[in-house]
């Protein structure tokens, strides 16, 4: 990770996309049944918040190893979020959301490529 070129984690495209994902998840869960306020709503929001938070924390550690470790945690939270998102749809709490689908795919792909760069000689 070359942190000299970036002034802030906010300049990371993967963080920007993950942050947008959190905002979309909050909108997505706003009309869930009240019985899910302390269940699925809380879980899905926590998983979503964890993604940009871990990206930011990893960036702040200023070490490639730590950045990758925190990015790995963010990726795990993304998979957790995706599972909860699918469950929400299957339970009929909300309909599939194209914006969320796209952001999950983008953040997942970007995270994977950062953690597994192609080695060129």
Overall fold of domain 26-115 = de novo design (two linked rop proteins) (1.20.1440)
d(CA 85, CA 77): 12
d(CA 60, CA 95): 36
R_g of the chain, CA atoms, integer Å: 15
pTM reported for the whole predicted model: 0.91
Cβ atoms within 10 Å of 69's Cβ, excluding its own: 16
Count of alpha carbons within 13 angstroms of residue 39, beta-carbon side: 9
Task: Per-residue pLDDT tens, the chain, 121 aa: give them.
Answer: 444 578 899 999 999 999 999 999 999 999 999 999 999 999 999 999 999 999 999 999 989 999 999 999 999 999 999 999 999 999 999 999 999 999 999 999 999 999 888 765 5
What would the two tokens of residue 73 be? 């945690």
d(CA 91, CA 43): 15
């Amino acid at each position: 990770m070359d942190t000299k070129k970036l002034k802030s984690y906010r300049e990371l495209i993967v963080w920007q996309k993950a942050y947008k994902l959190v905002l979309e998840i909050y909108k997505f869960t706003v009309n869930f049944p009240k019985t899910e306020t302390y269940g699925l709503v809380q879980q899905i929001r926590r998983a979503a918040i964890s993604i940009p938070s871990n990206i930011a924390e990893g960036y702040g550690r200023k070490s490639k190893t730590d950045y990758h470790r925190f990015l790995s945690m963010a990726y795990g939270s993304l998979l957790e979020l995706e599972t909860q998102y699918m469950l929400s749809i299957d339970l009929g709490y909300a309909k599939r959301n194209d914006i969320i689908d796209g952001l999950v795919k983008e953040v997942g792909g970007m995270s994977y490529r950062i953690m597994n760069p192609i080695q060129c000689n």
